[in-house]
């Protein structure tokens, strides 16, 4: 602690900032808010709600498969469930949850008062919610997407899936893409331009690097999915021929476009998860990460090489072996930056002295699960083995090890690590450990036997299977494991709900963490920080003792910025202050725009073109309202 | 609004430190936002052109398919001249307002959007009806590609025109000056991007079948 | 690995996997298991699997060992921060993550490419070409001599057979785990693969690419016959349906021809010429109907992989 006496200036600054940044309670502010913390929480809660739905779908499917020839679900229902399970977990759970933590913690960790584009942030959330509702409304009419999250043509063409199911899919994903793209741009600009003074590139927390790598991947990968979906919409609705082999199109074009997006999508979900691991480990082993530079380069390298491996999802479609050899090489190579990160975590764990609290337990579980998924991933880089096991249950096992490993376990670790910052109260530690062990054991019991099922020849995406093939016992184990996993998840959700109201007050920095989110109060004030800190170290909370008081004094470089609704703009590489920026006020227009867009997508779905035109005009009006100039303030 | 126009710097709370209140170019958040929007849009167009060549080379030796003639080049080249020349007044407007020149801003934007509107009319109002007599998007994959790629580009021109209109309204109302013109800058960047994309549309749709 | 699959070898498989999976009976049932290969190609995949498996096992054990070692240390105090540089830290990350991993990955890549090439071409000139048309949700099988059947692909044992893989509608995938890797049926192209079974037997295959409602029930069998048996079978299958002999059979024919069955099915030698469903000319010679869903009722339900086809009359 520096010897600055607790003076009046802090209270005075806080009061002025609260007057500027505070939001009145009520419906108006609830709809209009552009506060990244409220929006981040919404992302998280919405993601968890969809996680619960996706999980229930999984349990229904596992129950159906507990034994051969069960008749709990009819095939159509099963096919809708496995399709929506994939869509939900990727687009409505993992991405929003990781964006949620990003929204909440990126500005806090880089010492900013908000995201670069707070209204765009609000719009991203409302659009996610609207698109989620859009996709799930398909269940109300009994026509949920039923051709898998991968939605291969020609099965998904109008000819073979004439129902409205696939229209929900293509339009829903285009709609969601708007949300993700806006969010990605916001993350990138925030991380490039809003870092606290002194936060040079090599002082950016690894979690923030992870969100940046994710956002860059979204920018360059998502257009492939949006394009694939638009072309399919045109094929289905107006008889275009992109995917129709008989008219010169090619169904493999869908697979190329889908996987140009789809493989990076795995990293979109994994990289922030890696970032969470790198945020949790130093705090709980009480030493800085070893190999910071290598980890950052590793994350960026994964993001880059991840664009060169999409064809390994197409090893059985009959492309030339020379193509396959190149893609195999890239697929083996993409394992190297991940291996570097794993060994950096291991080195840090071994060099430090781990405190085995719940957040770290989840990270350790993540490492083990992810490594198992990683080595089976390397197996799939080996073309002959891939050709033997692709589309079998071996893949189901692998992808769950990778995705549950790198997304779910870090997210749950983050709930325990950062939850106290968000709610101001500690989660129950004992319930946390119970939850972890149930999840870890349940997960492995559920998914490990699926490797064996794949080797035993069981294809994936089957609603039932024949008796007498030796598949029953593994399937039963898998089902039991799934229920254990579900129970473990439930324990944490209950723990969160209970602790948020009744938990022990956390204090501002319960774990004595190393990064700037612990510089704010718990939960953070509307303005995040009393003073925007000047950063002089990679672990500022460990190395800059003057930050411990929650308000770096001006003598040490803390900027109060009380002259308005302001944040700092700093230089891209070395974080020199360049300007103060008037941040936009809360606004209902992002919410209204997402509603008009929702009307637009429903109109396309039902092919009511007049309504679609009206909705476009209404959207243009909403954009006009949003961007109506108001003095110096930027409008996004 | 008028009163605050004079304020150009703000105190940061560090003793004696003041920083500018307006940013432009790479210092402004909005500029970077437009850069990344263009990056993702450029990716979308690249994939669209990639899809064209992918489908074209899988199709076989005869392209366009039997019954469709190779695209005539006169109209597209005229359209190219019109669209690309629209970038000049837009640039004049952008450069003008940096010096506070309201006249160049207003007339530059107006001239740019006129040329853009003529281009859009030539695509949708002249070329499409002509092509539709020969083939439709449902005829075969060539038709699908032709109308989708030109349609994607035309939609971007349309959005550009709407943004231009919006910018012009505020230009006439005096919302921009030498310090405050990020919207103009962003619009210009977007417009130049749409013009650049046209080079690839021209090469892909109109020139490549002649090779 | 040479020669037929021995029982002892099977036990070692079981033991190795039992250590891994909690509930395991790798050789149990009649699983079309990758670990019970019945052809040179499948043995190659199986060898590759064990190579990959052992590499993976070592990696996982090493990682788990590090984690165990870390957790065994006494935990740090909550307020302590260890800022000391670890001299071995970054070199370790580079050596383990980049150098060692890179070498192992490069080696595995080379093995994979060699195996990929080996899988690409059969050991000899194919003796027979069969066309297997995938349809939602069954398999039409055509022989050069005009024989047409469904969901049961007879091949002569011990010789390479080329299989052409067109599709009649959507994408399907041809997968007989014990004989060959899988390959997709893709509209607009005809993929090919080759099969060569070591020994007579029935090998289960199933569609591996999701193809809609009844994807789960799109099963077929490859039946490897001794060459003479195969010749006899393929000639018999090319023949037209025999005239019914008894009154019951005659009545059966009349019912079939007098109903809507004929609009979908063909029985060569009769007016039934439908093309939507499987050719039923020699239906009674098949062991299962409905793409592997049901055993044909007229015979006993003995479908173990070693049971030979018995002659029977419908």
Chain B: list its partners (3+ Cβ pairs within 8 Å): A
Q: Above pLDDT 90, what percent of chain A?
A: 94
The C-alpha atoms of residue A30 and residue A28 are separated, in whole angstroms, by 5
Give the tens place of pLDDT for each residue, B42-87.
999 999 999 999 999 999 889 999 999 999 999 999 999 999 999 9
User: Which residues contact residue B131 at a Cβ distance below 8 angstroms, ignoring those fewer than 6 apart?
Assistant: B146, B147
The residue that leads in pLDDT, A23 or C28, is: A23
> For chain C, what is the largest distance between any 2 Cα atoms, rounded to a whole number of angstroms?
96
Predicted pLDDT at C305: 33
The C-alpha atoms of residue A93 and residue A86 are separated, in whole angstroms, by 10
- The stretch A430-451 carries a mean pLDDT of 98
**Closest in B13, B41, B137 to A559, CB measured:** B13
Please say if the pLDDT value at position C314 is more than 50: no
Phi, psi of C147 (to 5 degrees): -65, 135
Where helices occur in A197-334 by DSSP H, the ranges are 206-238, 251-285, 292-305, 321-333
Residues of A in contact with C24 (CB under 8 A): 449, 452, 473-474
Q: What is the pLDDT confidence band of residue C306, given thresholds at 50, 70 and 90? A: very low
> For chain B, what is the largest distance between any 2 Cα atoms, rounded to a whole number of angstroms?
77
Q: Does A252 touch chain C (CB under 8 A)?
A: yes
Q: What is the pLDDT confidence band of residue C3, given thresholds at 50, 70 and 90? A: very low
A325: exposed, middle or buried (Cβ count in 10 Å: 0-12, 13-18, 19+): middle
Q: Which of B33, B142, B177 should be substituted to probe chain A, the one whose Cβ sees the most A Cβ atoms within 10 Å?
A: B33
Q: What is the pLDDT confidence band of residue B2, given thresholds at 50, 70 and 90? A: very low
Predicted pLDDT at B160: 97
User: Which residues contact residue A7 at a Cβ distance below 8 angstroms, ignoring those fewer than 6 apart?
Assistant: none
Q: Does B54 touch chain A (CB under 8 A)?
A: yes
Query: Which residues 132-191 of C are in CB contact (within 8 Å) with A?
Result: 136, 169-171, 173, 175, 177-178, 181-184, 186-189, 191
CA–CA min distance A72, chain B (Å) = 42
Query: Which residues 130-189 of B are in CB contact (within 8 Å) with A?
Result: 137-145, 148, 162, 166, 170, 175, 180, 182-183
Do you find a cis peptide bond into A509, omega within 30 degrees of 0? no
Picking from A164, A176, A149, the residue whose alpha carbon sits closest to that of residue A82 is A149
Q: In this structure, are residues B61 and A616 in contact, taking their beta carbons and an 8 Å threshold?
A: no
DSSP for residue A156: T
Secondary structure (3-state) at B165: helix
User: Which residues contact residue C154 at a Cβ distance below 8 angstroms, ignoring those fewer than 6 apart?
Assistant: C222, C223, C224, C225, C230, C233, C234, C237
Q: In this structure, are residues C235 and A488 in contact, taking their beta carbons and an 8 Å threshold?
A: no
The residue that leads in pLDDT, A228 or C127, is: A228
Count of CB atoms situated within 10 Å of the CB of B61 = 5
Tell me: ipTM over 0.85.
Answer: yes
CB contact (8 A) between residue A391 and residue C187: no
Q: In this structure, are residues A97 and A196 in contact, taking their beta carbons and an 8 Å threshold?
A: no
Q: Which of C15, C20, C83, C170 should be substituted to probe chain A, the one whose Cβ sees the most A Cβ atoms within 10 Å?
A: C170
Count of CB atoms situated within 10 Å of the CB of C74 = 7
The C-alpha atoms of residue A576 and residue A193 are separated, in whole angstroms, by 10
For residues A363-390, one letter each, b for 16 or more C-beta atoms within 10 angstroms of the residue's C-beta and e for the rest, the string is bbbbbbbbbbbbbbbbbbbbbbbbbbbb
- The stretch A262-267 carries a mean pLDDT of 95
Q: Distances in Å between the alpha carbon of C186 and those of A159, A328, A332, C165?
A: 16, 22, 27, 8
Secondary structure (3-state) at C288: strand
Do you find a cis peptide bond into A154, omega within 30 degrees of 0? yes
Predicted pLDDT at C25: 41
From A61-70, A498-507, B174-183, C138-147, the region with the lowest mean pLDDT: B174-183
- The stretch A552-559 carries a mean pLDDT of 94
Do you find a cis peptide bond into C137, omega within 30 degrees of 0? yes
From A266-275, A290-299, B143-152, C273-282, the region with the lowest mean pLDDT: C273-282
Average of per-residue pLDDT values in chain C:
85
Q: Distances in Å between the alpha carbon of A257 and those of A84, A166, A532, C246?
A: 20, 17, 44, 60
Q: In this structure, are residues C192 and C264 in contact, taking their beta carbons and an 8 Å threshold?
A: no
Give the tens place of pLDDT for each residue, A560-582.
999 899 999 999 999 999 999 99
Give the tens place of pLDDT for each residue, A361-386.
999 999 999 999 999 999 999 999 99
CA–CA min distance B163, chain A (Å) = 10
Please say if the pLDDT value at position A253 is more than 50: yes
B169: exposed, middle or buried (Cβ count in 10 Å: 0-12, 13-18, 19+): exposed
Q: In this structure, are residues C33 and A455 in contact, taking their beta carbons and an 8 Å threshold?
A: yes
Q: In this structure, are residues A37 and A525 in contact, taking their beta carbons and an 8 Å threshold?
A: no
Q: In this structure, are residues C27 and C14 in contact, taking their beta carbons and an 8 Å threshold?
A: yes
CB contact (8 A) between residue B32 and residue A188: yes
The per-residue DSSP string of A398-460 comes to HHHHHHIIIIIHHHHHHHHHHHHHHHSBPPPHHHHHHHHHHHHHHHHHHHHHHHHHHHTTPBS
Q: What is the pLDDT confidence band of residue C127, given thresholds at 50, 70 and 90? A: confident
Q: What is the pLDDT confidence band of residue C284, given thresholds at 50, 70 and 90? A: confident
- The stretch B129-134 carries a mean pLDDT of 96
The C-alpha atoms of residue A298 and residue A107 are separated, in whole angstroms, by 23
Q: What angle do CA B63, B66, B68 make, to 5 degrees?
A: 80
By C-alpha distance, the chain C residue nearest A292 is C90
E strands present in A330-380: none
Average of per-residue pLDDT values in chain A:
95
Q: Tally C-beta pairs within 8 A across A and B.
A: 170
User: Which residues contact residue A256 at a Cβ distance below 8 angstroms, ignoring those fewer than 6 apart?
Assistant: A310, A311, A314, B54
**Closest in A346, A457, A542 to C31, CB measured:** A457
Count of residues making up chain B: 211
Predicted pLDDT at A633: 57
- The stretch A546-563 carries a mean pLDDT of 92
Please say if the pLDDT value at position A320 is more than 90: yes
Predicted pLDDT at A7: 58
The C-alpha atoms of residue A373 and residue A395 are separated, in whole angstroms, by 10
The C-alpha atoms of residue C61 and residue C66 are separated, in whole angstroms, by 9
Where helices occur in A456-548 by DSSP H, the ranges are 472-502, 540-543
Q: What is the pLDDT confidence band of residue A631, given thresholds at 50, 70 and 90? A: low
Picking from C207, C112, B117, the residue whose alpha carbon sits closest to that of residue A392 is C207
CB contact (8 A) between residue C93 and residue A294: yes
Q: What is the pLDDT confidence band of residue C289, given thresholds at 50, 70 and 90? A: confident
Counting runs of H as helices and runs of E as strands, what totals does chain C give? 6, 12
Secondary structure (3-state) at C183: strand
- The stretch B16-34 carries a mean pLDDT of 90
Q: Are strands C152-156 and C219-225 parallel, antiparallel or unpaired?
A: parallel
Predicted pLDDT at B211: 86
CA–CA min distance A178, chain C (Å) = 29
Phi, psi of C131 (to 5 degrees): -105, 125
Count of CB atoms situated within 10 Å of the CB of B124 = 16
Q: In this structure, are residues A98 and A214 in contact, taking their beta carbons and an 8 Å threshold?
A: yes
Q: Tally C-beta pairs within 8 A across A and C.
A: 318
Q: What is the pLDDT confidence band of residue C121, given thresholds at 50, 70 and 90? A: confident
CA–CA min distance A545, chain C (Å) = 13
Q: Does B13 touch chain A (CB under 8 A)?
A: yes
Which helix (H) or strand (E) segment holds residue C192: the answer is: strand C191-195
Q: In this structure, are residues C198 and C107 in contact, taking their beta carbons and an 8 Å threshold?
A: no
For residues C30-46, one letter each, b for 16 or more C-beta atoms within 10 angstroms of the residue's C-beta and e for the rest, the string is bbbbbbbbbbbbbbbbb
Give the tens place of pLDDT for each residue, C202-249.
999 999 999 999 999 999 999 999 999 999 999 999 998 888 888 888
Q: In this structure, are residues A406 and A368 in contact, taking their beta carbons and an 8 Å threshold?
A: no
Q: Does B21 touch chain A (CB under 8 A)?
A: yes
Phi, psi of C176 (to 5 degrees): -120, 95
- The stretch A71-86 carries a mean pLDDT of 97
Count of CB atoms situated within 10 Å of the CB of A19 = 10
E strands present in A168-214: none
CB contact (8 A) between residue C191 and residue A332: no
Q: Which of A1, A362, A382 should be substituted to probe chain C, the one whose Cβ sees the most C Cβ atoms within 10 Å?
A: A382
Q: Above pLDDT 90, what percent of chain C?
A: 63
Q: Which residues pair with A581 in a beta bridge?
A: A567
Predicted pLDDT at C27: 44
Picking from B158, C205, C57, C79, the residue whose alpha carbon sits closest to that of residue A616 is B158
Count of CB atoms situated within 10 Å of the CB of C164 = 15
Q: In this structure, are residues A620 and A190 in contact, taking their beta carbons and an 8 Å threshold?
A: no
Positive or negative, the Cα torsion across A148, A154, A160, A166? positive
């Amino acid at each position: 602690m520096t010897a600055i006496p607790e003076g009046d200036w802090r209270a005075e600054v806080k009061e002025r900032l609260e007057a500027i940044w505070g939001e009145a309670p009520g419906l108006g502010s609830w709809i209009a808010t552009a506060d990244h913390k409220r929006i981040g929480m919404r992302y998280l809660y919405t993601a968890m709600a969809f996680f619960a739905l996706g999980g229930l779908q999984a349990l229904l499917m596992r129950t159906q498969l507990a034994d051969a020839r069960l008749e709990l679900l009819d095939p159509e229902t099963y096919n809708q469930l496995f399709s929506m399970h994939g869509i939900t977990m990727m687009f409505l759970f993992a991405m929003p949850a990781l964006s949620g933590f990003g929204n909440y913690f990126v500005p806090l960790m880089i010492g900013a008062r908000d995201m670069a584009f707070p209204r765009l942030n609000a719009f991203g959330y409302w659009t996610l919610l609207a698109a989620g509702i859009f996709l799930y409304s398909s269940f109300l009419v009994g026509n949920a997407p039923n051709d898998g999250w991968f939605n291969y043509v020609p099965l998904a063409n109008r000819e073979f899936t004439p129902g409205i199911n696939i229209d929900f899919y293509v339009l829903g994903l285009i709609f969601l893409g708007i949300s993700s793209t806006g969010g990605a741009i916001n993350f990138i600009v925030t991380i490039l331009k809003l870092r606290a003074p002194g936060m040079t590139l090599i002082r950016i927390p690894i979690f923030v690097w992870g969100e940046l790598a994710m956002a860059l991947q979204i920018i360059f990968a998502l257009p492939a999915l949006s394009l694939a979906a638009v072309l399919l919409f045109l094929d289905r609705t107006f008889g275009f021929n992109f995917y129709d082999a008989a008219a010169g199109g090619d169904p493999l074009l869908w697979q190329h476009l889908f996987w140009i997006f789809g493989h990076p999508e795995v990293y979109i979900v994994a990289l922030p998860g890696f970032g969470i691991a790198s945020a949790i480990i130093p705090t709980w082993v009480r030493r800085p990460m070893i190999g910071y530079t290598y980890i950052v380069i590793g994350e960026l390298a994964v993001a880059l090489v991840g664009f060169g491996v999409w064809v390994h999802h197409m090893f059985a479609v009959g492309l030339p072996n020379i193509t396959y050899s190149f893609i195999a090489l890239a697929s083996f190579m993409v394992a190297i930056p991940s291996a570097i990160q794993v060994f950096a975590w291991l080195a840090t764990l071994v060099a430090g002295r781990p405190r085995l609290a719940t957040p770290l337990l989840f990270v350790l579980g993540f490492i083990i699960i992810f490594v198992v998924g990683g080595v089976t991933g390397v197996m799939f880089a080996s073309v002959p083995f891939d050709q033997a096991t692709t589309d079998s249950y071996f893949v189901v096992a692998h992808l769950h090890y990778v995705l549950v490993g790198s997304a779910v376990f870090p997210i749950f670790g983050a709930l325990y690590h950062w939850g106290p910052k968000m709610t101001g109260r500690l989660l129950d530690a004992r319930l946390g450990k119970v939850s972890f062990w149930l999840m870890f054991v349940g997960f492995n019991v559920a998914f490990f036997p699926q490797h064996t099922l794949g080797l035993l020849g069981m294809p994936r995406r089957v609603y039932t299977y024949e008796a007498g093939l030796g598949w029953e016992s593994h399937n039963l184990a898998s089902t039991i494991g799934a229920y254990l996993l579900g129970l473990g998840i439930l324990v944490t959700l209950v723990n969160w709900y209970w602790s948020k109201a009744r938990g022990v007050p956390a204090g501002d920095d319960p774990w004595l963490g190393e990064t700037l989110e612990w510089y704010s109060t718990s939960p953070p004030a509307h303005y995040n920080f009393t003073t925007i800190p000047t950063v002089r170290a990679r672990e500022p909370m460990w190395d800059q003792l003057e930050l411990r008081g929650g308000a770096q004094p001006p003598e040490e470089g803390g900027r109060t910025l009380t002259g308005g609704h302001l944040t700092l703009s700093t230089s891209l590489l070395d974080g020199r202050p360049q300007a103060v920026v008037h941040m936009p006020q809360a606004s209902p227009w992002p919410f209204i725009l997402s509603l008009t867009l929702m009307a637009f997508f429903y109109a396309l779905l039902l092919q009511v073109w007049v309504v679609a035109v009206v909705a476009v005009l209404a959207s243009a009006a909403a954009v006009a309202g949003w961007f109506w100039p108001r003095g110096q303030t930027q409008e996004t | 609004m008028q009163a605050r126009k004079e304020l150009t710097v703000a105190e940061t709370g560090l003793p004696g430190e003041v920083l500018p209140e307006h940013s432009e170019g790479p210092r402004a958040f909005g500029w970077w936002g437009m850069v990344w929007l263009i990056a993702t849009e450029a990716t979308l167009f690249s994939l669209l052109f990639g899809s064209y060549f992918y489908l074209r080379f899988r199709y076989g030796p005869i392209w366009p398919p039997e019954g469709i003639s190779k695209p005539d080049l006169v109209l597209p080249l005229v359209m190219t001249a019109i669209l690309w020349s629209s970038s000049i007044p837009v640039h004049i407007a952008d450069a003008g307002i940096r010096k506070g020149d309201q006249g160049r801003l207003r007339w530059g934007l107006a001239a740019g959007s006129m040329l853009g509107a003529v281009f859009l009319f030539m695509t949708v109002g002249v070329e499409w009806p002509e092509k539709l007599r020969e083939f439709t998007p449902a005829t075969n994959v060539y038709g699908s590609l032709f109308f989708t790629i030109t349609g994607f580009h035309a939609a971007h021109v349309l959005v550009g025109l709407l943004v231009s209109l919006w910018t012009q309204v505020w230009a006439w109302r005096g919302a921009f000056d030498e310090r405050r013109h990020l919207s103009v800058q962003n619009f210009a960047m977007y417009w130049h991007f749409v013009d650049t994309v046209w080079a690839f549309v021209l090469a892909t749709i109109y020139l490549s079948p002649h090779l | 690995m040479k020669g037929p699959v021995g029982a002892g070898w099977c036990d070692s498989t079981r033991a190795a996997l039992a250590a891994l999976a909690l509930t395991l009976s790798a050789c149990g049932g009649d699983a079309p298991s990758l670990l019970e290969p019945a052809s040179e190609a499948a043995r190659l995949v199986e060898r590759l699997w064990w190579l990959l498996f052992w590499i993976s096992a070592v990696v996982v054990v090493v990682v788990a060992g590090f984690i165990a070692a870390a957790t065994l240390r006494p935990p740090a105090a909550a307020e302590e921060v260890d800022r000391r540089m670890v001299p071995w830290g970054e070199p370790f990350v580079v050596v383990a993550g980049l150098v060692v991993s890179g070498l192992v990955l490069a080696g595995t890549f080379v093995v994979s490419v060699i195996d990929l090439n080996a899988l690409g071409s059969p050991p000899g000139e194919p003796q027979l070409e069969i066309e297997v048309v995938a349809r939602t949700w069954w398999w039409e099988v055509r022989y050069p001599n005009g024989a047409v059947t469904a969901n049961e692909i007879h091949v002569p044992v011990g010789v390479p057979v080329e299989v052409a893989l067109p599709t009649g509608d959507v994408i399907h995938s041809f997968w007989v785990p014990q004989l060959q890797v899988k390959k997709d049926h893709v509209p607009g192209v005809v993929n090919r693969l080759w099969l060569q079974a070591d020994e007579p037997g029935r090998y289960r295959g199933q569609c591996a690419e999701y193809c809609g409602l009844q994807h789960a029930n799109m099963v077929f069998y490859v039946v490897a016959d001794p060459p003479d048996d195969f010749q006899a079978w393929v000639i018999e299958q090319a023949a037209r349906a025999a005239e019914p002999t008894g009154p019951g059979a005659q009545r059966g024919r009349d019912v079939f021809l007098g109903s809507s069955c004929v609009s979908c099915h063909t029985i060569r030698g009769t007016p039934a010429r439908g093309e939507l469903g499987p050719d039923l000319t020699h239906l009674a010679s098949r062991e299962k109907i409905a793409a592997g869903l049901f055993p044909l009722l007229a015979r006993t339900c003995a479908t173990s992989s070693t049971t030979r086809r018995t002659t029977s009359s419908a």
